[in-house]
C-alpha cells in the first residue's frame, strides 16, 4: 500500500490539511457537509482519510459513470491495490467489488436500486455514506438524498457526508434539520495564498475581453446579437456558427500565442452537434493540434485516454457537461466556456421529452472553471459579457422539476421498502419537490398503460405488467419495447435493442461527420428503399446486427477455441485476449466497452423476464437467430494504409434476420415509442374510404363549411399517412397531428397474466425426451424414489448417479431404498459414488470414465426447494458443469449429439445463479421451460412469484465449426 494513500501528490492537496477536522466532524455528527473548492482532492482523499481512521467500509456516489471509473482508478493506484479489491466500483451492470472492498464507488442510480430492494439494509453495511457532487441535481441523486434521509431515521449508526464545491449549505442544513441533530460544515476554501507553492492561479475573461484579444470585426455581431436577443441558441438546439467561429479563432489565437505545447485547451459546448461543428472547423483549418472528444456517446476508454494522456503536440478537448466534475484533465491550461448547456424537459402538451439549450448556472460555470488551474496556471474564457453572466441563475434547475417521473413513480410503488411506496408523499419530502401535477400526470399515464391499477378501496397498486416494467434495469420506453418483443416472440432481439437504447455509447462507434456515421451504420444494416426514412429504427437494428456480428464472428470463435484448446490438446490454438478483441472492434468500428455492457444488460433483462415468467416466456425457444445463420461468412482483410476491415458490408440484410423478421422488429421499435396512452391512434376505427375521393383539406383542419355538400371526402380513412410518424424522431404533434398515424402492428393487450398452468414432472420429462435414443443420466438418489413412475420413457437405458459410495450407505438415509432398488428393471443402472459436483472437481477426468458418455443423451438434475445461501458459489458450479459437459461431448467427438440437460429449480434460483447465461457461454441453449408441481418432490408449498420450473437445455454447436 502506498503509505496509506498519502503519496507526495495527495499530501499536498488542500483537503488533506484538514484531515483531523474532517474526521472529527464525521465522528461527532450524523450529517457532515464538506464544501471544498474544485481541485482540492475531496473526491479521492476524503474516503481514504476516513478508512485510515477506521471508518470502513465506505460507500461513495458520483453523478456519472465516467467519474465513478476515473476516481476509483485514481484511489486504487494511490493505495497500491488492484481495482476491485480494497477499492471497487459499480456502474450499471458492471460490478467490480468484492467482500473485501473498503471503498465502493457507485452511481446514484445503482444505490437507488439497492435502497428500493433492500431498504435500511442497503446502508447498514457501511459506516459512512458519501454523496459527492451534490450540486448536480439529477433525479436519481435527489431521490437517493431523500431515501438516505428517510433511512437515517431508522439507521442510527451510519454517517452521511455530503460534498460539493458550490452547494448551498443553508438549504441542506434546513433539509436535514428534521433529524434533530446538528449538521456540521467543513469549508476547504481560500487556501491558494497559504499553500501557493502547491496550487496554481486561474484568471477569468469574458466576451468583451475575448473580442479585444481576437479583434476580428466579423465577431462583433456576436455581442450585438446577445444584446438584442439574449438567447443561448439560434434555432432549436443550434447555438449558431457565429459563436462557433469565434471559439475557433480563440483556439487558433491561444495556439499561436502560447509556446508551451503541453498546455491544452478544453472547450465546453452544449450538444453533440455543437461538438461536431467545432471539430469540423478545427480539422478543416489543419491546426497542429490533437483533438479529443468527451461525450456520453464516445467510448469511455477513449475518454479516459483523452484525460490521462500527454502528447508532444497541443491537445484540444471538446466536451459537454460530462467533463464538469470529479475529473482532472492534466495540462488543461485554458478553458473556453460557451456558457450554454443542454436541458431535457418533459413537454406536457406533446407528452414527450424534449431538449433545449439554456444558459448555464453560476454553479456549473464554477465547475467548468475548476477544470483548469489544477495542475498548472489556467485561464477561463466565458463567451458572454460579464453583465449578462451575473444575471445567470445561481444553481441549475433540478432535473426532478423538469422531467416526467413515470419510471420513478412506478419503481416507488414496486419498492420492497414500504416507506417508499407512497410516491406523492415521497416526492414531497425531496429537497426540491416536483410540481404535484407532474406526479399526477405520471400516475394517470401509468394507469392508462395498465402499469398501475386501483383496488377495491381505490388504492393504487402495481399490476404484474407494472412490476416487470419496474424490475427491468431500463428506461420506461426500453422496458415497454422488451415486453412488446416478448409478446411477439422476439425477446432475445428486443432485449439487445432495449439495452442499446439505454447504453452510451452505442456499440457502433459514431465518428464526427454525418456521412461517416451513416457509412459505419450501413455496414451492419442497409435501410430499406421504400421512401420512408427510418433512421432511428434502422440505427437500432444496425446496432443489433453489430452486436450479433461480434457474438458470431468473435465471441463464438473465442468460445470454440477455448474448447478446442481443452479437447484437442495436441493442437496449437491461439486464444483471443482483450487486446485482440479491442483490435477486432477497432477494425470494425465497434466499441468493446459498449458491446460488453449490452451483453451484460441484455442478460440481466432476460433474467428478469425468467424471474417473472409471463405466459409469453413459452415463445422463447432455442438459440438466437444469428446462431442459425449457417450461410453467413465474414473474411477480414485490410489495405496497407487502412486499419479498417475492408470485407464490406460486415452484415448484409437477411444474414441474421429474414425480411419478415426485420420488418417485424422495425414495427415493434416504432410501436414501443407510441404505446403512450395519449397516442391512441391505433384504437381509432376508420370507416371504409369513399372510393375515388380525395380527402378535403379543410375537413382535415376541422373547418370545412360545406358539410355533406363538399365534393371531397370527409372520411377519416382518407387522411394521408403522416410522413414523420415512422421517421427517426417521430411526429412532434403526437395525437394532435392532422395526418394519420397508421401502423399495421396491432396494439397488444398489456393486461399481463403471470398465472401459469402447472404440469407434472414425469409428464414434462417424458414429453421432452420422447424421441431420445440413448442413456438418461439422473443425478441424486432421490431419483430412485420416482424412477418407477417414468415407464413412458422411450430411452433404452437409465443411469442414476448417487452420492453415496454404496447401497448400504444410502439406506442409512432412506431405508425404503432396499425395496425400491430390488424392484428396479434391468435397464436401470446405479452409479455409486458419483454426483454432479464430482464432475467439476479436480478429478474430472476420473468422473468422465464412470458413465459411458458415448451413450448419454440426456442429463437430469433436480434442485427442488433448496435455499441458495451463496449464489456466487452456485454460479461457479453451473458454469463448470456446463463447461464439463460440452468439453466431454467434444472429446468423444459427439459434436452432433444434441445432448439434452433438464434442470428443475425455482425461477428465483435460476436467475440468481445465472444459469441461462452459463449454458449459453458453453453452447447449451435453453429450449423451453415449464412450471411443475412441487408436490411431486414432496416439497412444501411455494408462493408466487416463486415457481418450480423444469428448464430444458440442448447442446447446439454452430454448424460452421462442424
**Average of per-residue pLDDT across 141-167:** 87
Domain presence at residue 749? no
Are 673 and 729 in contact, with CB atoms under 8 Å apart?
Answer: no
In this predicted structure, what is the pLDDT of residue 719? 58
Domain presence at residue 695? yes
In this predicted structure, what is the pLDDT of residue 699? 53
**Average of per-residue pLDDT across 408-424:** 87
Pairwise CA distance, residues 23 & 105, whole Å: 19
In this predicted structure, what is the pLDDT of residue 808? 85
- Of 336, 316, 331, 311, nearest in space to 375 by CA: 331
pLDDT at 72 over 60: yes
Pairwise CA distance, residues 479 & 383, whole Å: 41
- Of 864, 868, 874, nearest in space to 932 by CA: 864
Check whether residue 640 and residue 695 sit in a common domain. no
- Of 175, 372, 404, 142, nearest in space to 267 by CA: 372
Check whether residue 684 and residue 659 sit in a common domain. no
Higher pLDDT, 283 or 2: 283
Check whether residue 640 and residue 783 sit in a common domain. no
β-strand 103-107 against 58-62: which pairing, if any? parallel
pLDDT at 223 over 90: no
Q: Give the percent of the chain with pLDDT over 90.
A: 29
Domain presence at residue 455? no
Largest Cα separation within the chain, whole Å, is 104
Query: Which residue shows C-alpha cell 452544449?
Result: 270
Average per-residue pLDDT in the chain?
A: 81
Check whether residue 584 and residue 632 sit in a common domain. yes
pLDDT at 684 over 50: no
In the listed set 648, 671, 694, which residue is the last one of a domain according to the structure? 671
In this predicted structure, what is the pLDDT of residue 207? 93
In this predicted structure, what is the pLDDT of residue 295? 81
Check whether residue 183 and residue 52 sit in a common domain. yes
**Average of per-residue pLDDT across 286-294:** 84
Instruction: List, as own/partner pairs, every contact residues 456-464 make where C-beta atoms lie below 8 angstroms and the sequence separation is at least 24, other chains included.
Output: 460/413, 461/413, 462/410, 462/413, 462/414, 463/751, 463/752, 464/612, 464/614, 464/752, 464/753, 464/754
For 194-208, 490-504, 689-703, which range has the lowest pLDDT when averaged over its residues? Answer: 689-703
- Of 89, 82, 4, 94, nearest in space to 45 by CA: 4
Q: What band does 728 get if pLDDT is binned at 50, 70 and 90? A: very low
Are 162 and 131 in contact, with CB atoms under 8 Å apart?
Answer: yes
Pairwise CA distance, residues 67 & 792, whole Å: 61
- Of 399, 617, 577, nearest in space to 495 by CA: 617
pLDDT at 575 over 60: no
Q: What is the separation of C-alpha 830 from the centre of its chain, rounded to a whole number of angstroms?
A: 48
- Of 720, 812, 798, nearest in space to 766 by CA: 798
Check whether residue 768 and residue 720 sit in a common domain. no
Phi first, then psi, for residue 402 (nearest 5°) are -115, -35
Residues with Cβ within 8 Å of 799's Cβ and at least 6 positions away in sequence, in order, are 775, 776, 777, 778, 828, 829, 830, 831, 851, 856
Pairwise CA distance, residues 161 & 25, whole Å: 10
Check whether residue 413 and residue 326 sit in a common domain. no
β-strand 94-96 against 103-107: which pairing, if any? unpaired
In this predicted structure, what is the pLDDT of residue 39? 75
Pairwise CA distance, residues 589 & 708, whole Å: 60
First-last CA distance in the chain = 51
Q: Which residues of 877-896 are buried (b: 16+ CB within 10 A; e: fewer)?
A: bbbbbbbbbbbbbbbeebee
57 prior amide bond cis, ω within 30: yes
Structure-block grid coordinates of residue 640: 496497407
Higher pLDDT, 440 or 529: 440
Q: Out of 338-352, 549-563, 743-757, 928-942, give the one with best mean pLDDT.
A: 549-563
Check whether residue 852 and residue 874 sit in a common domain. yes
Q: What band does 2 get if pLDDT is binned at 50, 70 and 90? A: very low
Domain presence at residue 751? no
- Output the CA angle 365-367-372, nearest 5 degrees: 100
703 prior amide bond cis, ω within 30: no
Check whether residue 51 and residue 136 sit in a common domain. yes
What's the structural domain count of the chain? 6
Task: Specify burial of residue 63 (Cβ count, 10 A radius: 0-12, 13-18, 19+).
Answer: buried
Strand partners, 960: none
Task: Specify burial of residue 741 (Cβ count, 10 A radius: 0-12, 13-18, 19+).
Answer: buried
In this predicted structure, what is the pLDDT of residue 898? 82
Residues with Cβ within 8 Å of 28's Cβ and at least 6 positions away in sequence, in order, are 184
β-strand 924-931 against 948-955: which pairing, if any? antiparallel
**Average of per-residue pLDDT across 340-368:** 85
pLDDT at 744 over 50: no
**Average of per-residue pLDDT across 88-111:** 87
- We report the CATH number of the domain holding residue 880 as 3.40.50.150
- Of 70, 62, 69, 91, nearest in space to 503 by CA: 91
| Residue 744 three-state SS | coil
- Of 652, 608, 302, 613, nearest in space to 474 by CA: 608
Instruction: Work out the number of other CB atoms within 10 angstroms of the CB of residue 634.
Output: 15
H or E segment at 754?
none
In the listed set 671, 700, 725, which residue is the last one of a domain according to the structure? 671
For 22-36, 134-148, 197-211, 835-849, which range has the lowest pLDDT when averaged over its residues? Answer: 835-849
Domain presence at residue 463? no
Check whether residue 282 and residue 239 sit in a common domain. yes
Check whether residue 364 and residue 439 sit in a common domain. no
Sign of torsion over alpha carbons 628, 629, 635, 636: negative
Pairwise CA distance, residues 757 & 688, whole Å: 42
Pairwise CA distance, residues 707 & 910, whole Å: 64
Domain presence at residue 921? yes
Pairwise CA distance, residues 691 & 82, whole Å: 74
Check whether residue 723 and residue 816 sit in a common domain. no
Pairwise CA distance, residues 858 & 768, whole Å: 10
Structure-block grid coordinates of residue 257: 500565442
Strand partners, 902: 860, 952
Are 326 and 69 in contact, with CB atoms under 8 Å apart?
Answer: no
* Containing structural domain, residue 937: 761-961
In the listed set 396, 429, 463, which residue is the last one of a domain according to the structure? 396
Higher pLDDT, 131 or 519: 131
Pairwise CA distance, residues 802 & 624, whole Å: 35
Strands, E, within 703-821: which ranges? 775-779, 797-802
Q: What band does 498 get if pLDDT is binned at 50, 70 and 90? A: very high
What angle separates helix 659-673 from helix 491-501, to the nearest 10 degrees?
50
Structure-block grid coordinates of residue 777: 443420466
In this predicted structure, what is the pLDDT of residue 255? 95
Pairwise CA distance, residues 390 & 382, whole Å: 12
Strand partners, 335: 266, 380
Q: What band does 533 get if pLDDT is binned at 50, 70 and 90? A: very low
pLDDT at 197 over 80: no
Domain presence at residue 750? no
**Average of per-residue pLDDT across 377-403:** 91
pLDDT at 228 over 90: no
Domain presence at residue 549? yes
Q: What band does 743 get if pLDDT is binned at 50, 70 and 90? A: very low
**Average of per-residue pLDDT across 821-843:** 79
In this predicted structure, what is the pLDDT of residue 338? 94
Pairwise CA distance, residues 112 & 216, whole Å: 51
Q: What band does 686 get if pLDDT is binned at 50, 70 and 90? A: very low
Are 140 and 109 in contact, with CB atoms under 8 Å apart?
Answer: yes
β-strand 797-802 against 775-779: which pairing, if any? parallel
| pLDDT tens per residue, range 446-474 | 998 899 998 888 888 999 999 999 999 89
- We report the CATH number of the domain holding residue 714 as 4.10.1000
- We report the CATH number of the domain holding residue 72 as 3.40.50.300
| pLDDT tens per residue, range 609-630 | 999 999 888 888 788 888 777 6
In this predicted structure, what is the pLDDT of residue 125? 86
pLDDT at 885 over 70: yes
Provide DSSP, 62-97. ESSHHHHHHHHHHHHHHTT--BTTTEEEEETTEEE-
Amino acid at each position: 500500500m502506498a503509505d496509506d494513500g498519502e503519496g507526495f501528490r495527495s499530501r499536498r492537496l488542500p483537503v488533506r490539511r484538514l484531515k483531523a477536522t474532517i474526521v472529527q466532524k464525521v465522528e461527532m455528527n450524523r450529517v457532515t457537509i464538506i464544501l471544498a473548492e474544485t481541485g482540492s482532492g475531496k473526491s479521492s482523499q476524503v474516503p481514504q482519510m476516513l478508512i485510515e481512521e477506521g471508518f470502513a467500509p465506505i460507500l461513495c456516489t458520483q453523478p456519472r459513470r465516467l467519474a465513478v471509473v476515473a476516481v476509483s482508478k485514481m484511489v486504487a493506484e494511490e493505495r497500491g491495490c488492484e481495482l476491485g479489491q480494497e477499492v471497487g466500483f459499480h456502474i450499471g451492470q458492471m460490478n467490480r467489488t468484492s467482500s473485501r472492498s473498503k471503498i465502493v464507488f457507485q452511481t446514484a442510480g445503482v444505490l437507488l436500486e439497492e435502497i428500493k430492494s433492500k431498504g435500511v439494509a442497503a446502508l447498514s453495511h457501511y459506516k459512512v455514506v458519501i454523496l459527492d457532487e451534490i450540486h448536480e441535481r439529477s433525479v436519481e441523486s435527489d431521490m437517493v438524498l431523500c431515501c438516505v434521509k428517510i433511512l437515517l431515521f431508522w439507521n442510527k449508526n451510519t454517517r452521511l457526508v455530503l460534498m460539493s464545491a458550490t452547494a448551498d449549505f443553508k438549504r441542506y442544513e434546513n433539509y436535514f434539520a428534521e433529524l434533530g441533530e446538528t449538521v456540521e460544515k467543513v469549508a476547504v476554501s481560500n487556501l491558494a495564498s497559504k499553500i501557493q507553492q502547491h496550487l496554481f492561479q486561474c484568471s477569468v475573461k469574458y466576451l468583451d475581453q475575448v473580442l479585444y484579444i481576437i479583434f476580428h470585426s466579423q465577431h462583433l455581431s456576436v455581442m450585438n446579437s446577445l444584446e438584442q436577443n439574449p438567447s443561448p441558441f439560434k434555432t432549436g438546439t443550434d447555438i449558431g456558427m457565429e459563436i462557433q467561429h469565434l471559439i475557433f479563432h480563440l483556439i487558433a489565437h491561444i495556439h499561436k500565442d502560447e509556446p508551451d505545447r503541453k498546455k491544452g485547451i478544453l472547450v465546453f459546448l452544449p450538444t453533440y452537434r455543437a461538438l461536431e461543428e467545432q471539430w469540423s472547423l478545427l480539422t478543416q483549418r489543419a491546426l497542429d493540434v490533437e483533438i479529443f472528444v468527451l461525450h456520453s456517446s464516445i467510448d469511455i476508454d477513449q475518454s479516459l485516454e483523452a484525460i490521462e494522456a500527454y502528447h508532444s503536440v497541443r491537445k484540444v478537448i471538446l466536451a459537454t457537461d460530462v467533463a464538469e466534475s470529479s475529473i482532472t484533465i492534466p495540462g488543461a491550461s485554458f478553458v473556453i466556456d460557451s456558457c450554454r448547456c443542454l436541458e431535457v424537459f418533459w413537454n406536457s402538451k406533446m407528452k414527450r421529452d424534449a431538449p433545449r439549450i439554456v444558459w448555464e448556472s453560476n454553479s456549473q460555470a464554477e465547475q467548468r472553471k475548476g477544470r483548469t488551474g489544477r495542475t498548472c496556471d489556467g485561464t477561463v474564457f466565458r463567451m458572454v459579457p460579464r453583465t449578462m453572466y451575473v444575471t445567470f441563475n445561481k444553481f441549475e434547475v433540478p432535473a426532478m422539476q423538469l422531467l416526467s417521473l413515470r419510471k420513478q413513480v412506478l419503481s416507488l410503488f414496486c419498492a420492497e421498502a414500504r416507506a417508499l411506496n407512497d410516491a406523492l408523499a415521497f416526492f414531497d419530502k425531496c429537497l426540491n419537490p416536483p410540481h404535484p401535477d407532474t406526479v399526477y400526470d405520471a400516475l394517470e399515464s401509468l394507469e392508462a398503460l395498465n402499469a398501475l391499477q386501483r383496488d377495491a378501496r381505490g388504492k393504487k397498486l402495481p399490476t404484474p405488467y407494472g412490476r416487470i416494467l419496474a424490475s427491468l434495469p431500463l428506461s420506461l420506453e426500453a422496458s415497454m419495447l422488451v415486453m412488446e418483443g416478448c409478446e411477439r416472440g422476439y425477446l432475445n432481439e428486443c432485449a439487445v435493442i432495449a439495452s442499446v437504447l439505454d447504453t452510451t455509447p452505442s456499440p457502433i462507434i459514431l465518428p464526427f461527420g454525418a456521412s461517416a456515421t451513416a457509412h459505419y451504420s450501413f455496414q451492419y444494416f442497409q435501410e430499406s428503399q421504400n421512401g420512408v426514412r427510418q433512421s432511428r429504427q434502422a440505427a437500432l437494428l444496425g446496432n443489433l446486427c453489430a452486436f450479433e456480428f461480434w457474438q458470431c464472428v468473435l465471441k463464438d470463435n473465442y468460445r470454440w477455441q477455448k474448447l478446442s484448446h481443452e479437447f484437442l490438446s495436441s493442437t496449437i490454438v491461439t486464444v483471443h485476449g482483450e487486446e485482440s478483441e479491442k483490435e477486432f472492434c477497432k477494425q470494425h468500428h465497434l466499441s468493446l466497452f459498449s458491446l460488453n455492457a449490452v451483453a451484460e444488460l441484455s442478460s440481466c433483462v432476460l433474467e428478469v423476464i425468467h424471474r417473472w415468467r409471463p405466459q409469453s416466456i413459452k415463445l422463447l425457444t432455442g438459440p438466437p437467430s444469428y446462431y442459425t445463420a449457417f450461410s453467413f461468412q465474414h473474411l477480414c482483410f485490410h489495405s496497407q494504409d487502412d486499419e479498417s476491415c475492408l470485407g464490406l458490408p460486415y452484415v448484409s440484410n437477411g444474414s441474421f434476420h429474414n425480411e419478415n423478421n426485420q420488418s417485424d422488429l422495425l414495427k415493434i421499435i416504432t410501436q414501443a415509442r407510441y404505446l403512450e396512452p395519449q397516442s391512441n391512434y391505433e384504437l381509432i376505427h376508420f370507416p371504409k374510404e369513399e372510393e375515388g375521393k380525395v380527402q378535403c383539406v379543410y375537413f382535415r383542419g376541422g373547418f370545412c363549411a360545406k358539410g355533406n355538400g363538399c365534393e371531397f371526402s370527409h372520411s377519416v380513412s382518407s387522411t394521408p399517412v403522416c410522413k414523420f410518424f415512422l421517421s427517426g424522431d417521430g411526429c412532434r404533434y403526437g395525437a394532435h397531428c392532422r395526418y394519420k398515424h397508421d401502423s399495421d402492428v396491432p396494439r397488444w393487450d398489456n393486461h399481463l397474466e403471470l398465472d401459469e398452468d402447472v404440469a407434472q414432472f414425469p409428464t414434462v420429462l417424458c414429453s421432452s425426451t420422447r424421441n431420445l435414443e440413448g442413456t438418461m443420466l439422473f443425478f441424486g438418489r432421490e431419483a430412485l424414489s420416482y424412477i418407477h413412475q417414468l415407464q413412458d420413457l422411450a430411452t433404452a437405458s437409465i443411469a442414476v448417479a448417487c452420492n453415496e459410495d454404496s447401497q448400504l450407505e444410502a439406506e442409512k438415509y432412506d431405508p425404503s431404498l432396499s425395496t425400491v432398488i430390488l424392484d428396479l428393471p434391468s435397464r436401470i443402472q446405479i452409479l455409486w459414488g458419483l454426483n454432479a459436483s464430482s464432475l467439476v472437481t479436480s478429478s474430472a477426468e476420473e468422473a468422465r470414465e464412470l458413465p459411458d458418455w458415448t451413450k448419454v443423451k440426456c442429463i437430469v438434475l433436480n434442485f427442488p426447494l433448496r435455499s441458495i445461501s451463496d449464489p456466487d458459489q452456485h454460479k461457479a458450479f453451473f458454469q463448470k458443469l456446463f463447461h464439463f459437459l460440452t468439453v466431454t461431448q467434444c472429446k468423444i467427438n459427439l459434436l452432433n449429439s444434441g445432448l439434452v440437460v433438464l434442470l428443475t429449480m425455482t425461477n428465483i434460483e435460476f436467475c440468481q445463479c445465472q444459469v441461462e447465461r452459463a449454458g449459453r457461454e458453453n453452447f447449451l441453449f435453453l429450449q423451453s421451460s415449464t412450471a411443475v408441481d412441487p408436490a411431486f418432490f414432496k416439497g412444501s408449498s411455494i408462493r408466487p412469484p416463486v415457481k418450480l420450473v423444469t428448464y430444458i437445455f440442448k447442446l447446439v454447436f454452430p454448424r460452421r465449426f462442424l
